[in-house]
A = this chain, B = another copy of it.
Amino acid sequence: MFENLLTNQDSWLNGKGPSSEIVFSSRVRLARNFADKVFPSRAATSVKEDIRNTMEEIYSRVSALRGSTFVRMEDLEELSRQFLLERHLISQEHMASPKGKGLIVSADERIALMINEEDHLRMQVITSGFDLAACWQVLDGIDTELSGMVNFSFLPDLGYLTSCPTNVGTALRASCMLHIPALVLTKRINKILELLVKISFTARGLFGEGTQALGDFFQISNQGSLGLSEGELIDNLSGVVNQVKEQEIDARDNLLKKYKFSLEDNVWRAFGVLKNCRLIGSKEALSHLSMLSLGLDLGIIKGIKREVINSLFIIIQPAHLQRIEGKLLKEEERDYIRASILRERLVFED
């Protein structure tokens, strides 16, 4: 499977979705549990293997999952698991303790099903740009088809039962990854984050829960799913994301009006460093890529392909670098390879 992952041009990183100059990606996930099995945290290995075997048997009968890849997590080396984490296909928890866990990934990486993570099934659909409805449509289809094959744990009054009570109900979480450098530069981000928490939305960094907001990326998602329908949850999140997006557009306009030269300077310096450095860490690279991306959005810099920058956000991560080189690398070696890749891929095209 890995051979395809790095070269796939139609993945959610292509930067071609709606509003993708600010909304990097949209993602919807559902948690599902088998009615007759205990939750993964309490289940014996044999129970988890049963569930995984069932999924291996049936997944290719789900239309959206045809041609997908099935993986037993413990069959993968740590580096490969980290690689999947960096590609947003599995969670930290799924990476850290692989025993009895599984993964199903569609060829275009838009669909990923984690087996025996916190719940028996965590199914996600991710897409480029701001398009939660498209994600939900695909995911709803998968859920419907799977429901015809297995018996999911569901109570009429509560909805779907999940390992963590916050997910009970629709068991749906929707999120958008926003690239909002102008809100960070103008420091308006802090007020926005405070407000989001007050109205029950969560903001996280590029790599999920507990991670830093690297490269000016913030993932905004709904908190809890009880008492609202799937459509309402998605509409609510869309509304909030739309407001943050408008704020970012306003902040960009302001920056362009008041700090044009300084902004151009920041963008071109970021390009200058990325295009010339010989050693660079991933945090610094993310920060410059963020600035370069903003420059592209604002027309300050032209001719670099958005999908190149988007894929670099992912490719410069440690496990990706090591897969590209085909061997384990020390930190300084990674910094060296990262710099080489950045110099090589950041080119002006017609």
Contacts and interface: CB of A to CB of B under 8 A. Distances in A.
Interface of A: 261-262, 264-265, 268-269, 271-280, 332, 336, 339
Contacts of A261: 278-279, 332, 336
Output the residue of A269, A276, A280, A332 with the most chain B CB within 10 A: A276
Contacts of A265: 277-280, 339
A332 B261 CA distance: 9
Contacts of A280: 265
Contacts of A269: 272-273, 276-278
Contacts of A332: 261
A261 B339 CA distance: 11
A334 to B, nearest CB: 12
A268 B277 contact: yes
A309 to B, nearest CB: 16
Nearest to A270: B276
Contacts of A276: 268-269, 271-272, 275
A272 B265 CA distance: 12
A148 to B, nearest CB: 58
Oligomeric state, in copies: 2
16 contacts: A261-B279, A261-B332, A261-B336, A265-B277, A265-B279, A265-B339, A268-B277, A269-B276, A269-B278, A271-B272, A271-B276, A272-B272, A272-B273, A272-B275, A273-B273, A275-B276
Nearest to A279: B265
Given A261-B332, A261-B336, A278 B273 contact: no
A271 B273 CA distance: 9
A6 B280 CA distance: 39
Nearest to A275: B272
A262 B265 CA distance: 25
B277 A272 contact: yes
A253 B273 CA distance: 25
A268 B278 contact: yes
Contacts of A271: 272, 276
A279 to B, nearest CB: 4
Nearest to A263: B278
A4 to B, nearest CB: 33
Contacts of A274: 272
A258 B34 CA distance: 59
A339 B265 CA distance: 9
A257 to B, nearest CB: 15
Given A264-B278, A265-B278, 18 more contacts: A261-B278, A261-B279, A261-B332, A261-B336, A262-B279, A265-B277, A265-B279, A265-B280, A268-B276, A268-B277, A269-B272, A269-B273, A271-B272, A271-B276, A272-B273, A272-B274, A273-B273, A275-B276
A195 B261 CA distance: 45
Nearest to A268: B276
Contacts of A277: 265, 268-269, 272
A197 to B, nearest CB: 37
Contacts of A272: 269, 271-277
A339 B261 CA distance: 11
Contacts of A275: 272, 276
Contacts of A336: 261
